[in-house]
């Protein structure tokens, strides 16, 4: 089953080659609560961020430095809020 999911994901990726990447802002996305995760400084000028998705298995993303700066800024804004302020995602 896992191999089939990987092959379908690769086929989807090939189908979308050359397509413009659209922003996710405002879109409904599947939310996984408290997935196992891992982060490290990447060999490029950025970071590697990995999650173990219950449906798709381990997924890793190489994020450029500018994206890391934006993520850190947003997470710092979150940490500045009173504890329990934000609702759980739907």
Spans of all domains in the chain: 34-80
| 30: CB partners within 8 A, 6+ apart | 55
Instruction: Please check whether residue 25 is in contact with residue 19, taking contact to mean a CB–CB distance below 8 angstroms.
Output: no
Q: What is the pLDDT of residue 87?
A: 58
Q: Are strands 57-64 and 46-53 parallel, antiparallel or unpaired?
A: antiparallel
Q: Other CB atoms closer than 10 Å to residue 30's CB: what's the count?
A: 9
* Tokens found for residue 26: 């405002």
CA 59 to chain centre: 8
- Residue matched to tokens 């379908």: 8
Kindly report the pTM of this predicted structure. Answer: 0.72
Write out pLDDT tens, residues 26-80: 999 999 999 999 999 988 788 999 999 999 899 999 999 999 999 999 999 999 9
């Amino acid at each position: 089953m896992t191999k089939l999911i990987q092959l379908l994901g690769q086929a989807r990726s090939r189908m979308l080659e050359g397509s413009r990447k659209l922003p996710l802002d405002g879109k409904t996305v599947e939310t996984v609560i408290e997935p196992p995760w891992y982060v490290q400084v990447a060999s490029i000028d950025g970071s590697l961020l990995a999650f173990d998705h219950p449906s798709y298995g381990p997924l890793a993303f190489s994020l450029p430095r500018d994206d890391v700066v934006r993520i850190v800024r947003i997470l710092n804004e979150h940490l500045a809020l009173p504890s329990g302020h934000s609702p759980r995602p739907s």
